[in-house]
Structure 1
């Protein structure tokens, strides 16, 4: 969708309390020239703001958090967001600068542009986030011939991200026991994507795109190099392993002298970081290993809105 309302129309329909947030996960953090190209692409759209960037060299993964407004028609239906063109520009730059066949890291991934997740902020609705997710998915699939799988509110029946990833082999390391490297899956997918071809480019891989209420990402360092211990703790903490409801986890190698429990808190207002931290510390003590205080990899929704408003105000000045 390339509809771009005139400035006059925008002034009538823009409501700065209707905001969408995008978390864009890209499989690269060591190639600074590639990251510079991706960020430069985003700067061509001043109405979209990168409010945060989280890089992890051990994982060889970067996440950009972007925010912009939604334009609505007279029925208050979403018809345009500057986020769409900004994300497509960043995706194009990522595909131009990164080859998945040359990628190695300790975090699982299925593609160069591995995951794009939309959240409603302030007065925006989940339907608006899902609308943009589906629009971006169609654009990426058609423009770059990349298979796209939709999840959560963007999926016709709300299929969960971890379910789709499990079906695609996301959680199985494909190199040296704890590393993900290159592309080792079939070039023709058995699962039909929601958008795009079933044939996979080895250089670009697959993209996941979803929409859902706010998810908190919280990582807890484990002072042990024993990968099996980290995986056991992660499994016992997760809802899937009978642990905490609405918590998803991964045990991952993180650097040369530690491992890490990467946590996705699907309902952070119900099961928060403190409870997850306590559970991990208890299980780690039973394993005879120490745990450091965990850390969030992004700001809270309130802080993101504040940063967006401050940055857009500074641009206008």
Structure 2
């Protein structure tokens, strides 16, 4: 399957229950048919939605359809969603919590990093949102989790393992790369980066014992002495379900199957039951296939109109 000059952007928005807001965001995306939303993953308990867009990038990484499309989605999201009324069991730093660019082949990581930096500059100046860069988009290659730790991202700020409202203070512990040095509580802050492909794999554990599941989660992650290139955290996911949510930083080296077996071994030691895990997005190959299908369908529809 041809992958030349294709870029991918994942946009994570802190909302899934307000369907009207999501409809407006998706309507904005449809204005850019050359950069279609290839996959959408919603989770009402987490109150979070992830959109995956794929597009041909062209030679100019700054003036491209993908950047324009994502900017319009972000703009509408800030207009339609108020972080002060938000709550969910997934952490977040802003209305648009996280945007990540990837190369799908034919272009370099540096190419999509330039797109990420240009998008951040526009969000910061035109939308007045404090924006932080990471990965190849940051001059020192700063990591996403290092930014999140500075903001206390991984610690629930409400009862029931919930995250609610916006930042508790306008004061920012880090200086934004773009935008104002303060955070508006209704908007929060935004993190934008460019990195190699990451798979997200969540494994349900049927328990309400957060202490036990956090112990398992720590032992899964590379940071906790577990699997290399795996990041994980425990997130409440409904009645008697806590998920071990994992970022697989090198999925060709350690994939979901290996993580699943490791969690099952640890859960057996703790005497808790484990369910089958799931990916929150499509594989790179399937994303590319679906992208070309969508483009062909759009061209066929246009030809019929003509």
For the aligned pair, the TM-score class normalised by the smaller chain equals over 0.9
Aligned to 2:13: 26
SS at match of 2:223: coil
Alpha-carbon shift at residue 183 of structure 1 (Å): 2.1
The one-character-per-residue Cα deviations of 1:115-143 (angstroms, maximum 9, x if unpaired) are 00000012121011101110110011111
The one-character-per-residue Cα deviations of 1:88-112 (angstroms, maximum 9, x if unpaired) are 1101110111000000000000000
Q: State how far apart, in whole Å, the 2-side matches of 1:16 and 1:119 are.
A: 13
SS at match of 2:273: coil
Aligned to 2:46: 59
Provide the aligned length of Structure 1 versus Structure 2. 299
Equivalences for residues 10-89 of structure 1 within 5 A: 17-72=4-59, 78-89=61-72
Of 190, 193, 213, the match for 2:176: 193
Aligned to 1:228: 211
SS at match of 1:166: helix
Q: Retained in 2: the 8 A contact 1:70–1:79?
A: no
Equivalences for residues 233-248 of structure 1 within 5 A: 233-248=216-231
Q: State how far apart, in whole Å, the 2-side matches of 1:259 and 1:303 are.
A: 29
Aligned to 1:111: 94
Alpha-carbon shift at residue 184 of structure 1 (Å): 4.2
Aligned to 1:100: 83
CA RMSD of aligned residues (A): 1.2
- Segments of structure 2 that go 5 or more residues without pairing to the other structure are 301-306
1:249 is the counterpart of 2:207: no
Alpha-carbon shift at residue 80 of structure 1 (Å): 2.7
Q: State how far apart, in whole Å, the 1-side matches of 2:47 and 2:295 are.
A: 30
TM-score (norm: length of structure 1)? 0.92
Structure 1 residue runs of 4+, over 2 Å off? 77-80
- Segments of structure 1 that go 5 or more residues without pairing to the other structure are 1-14
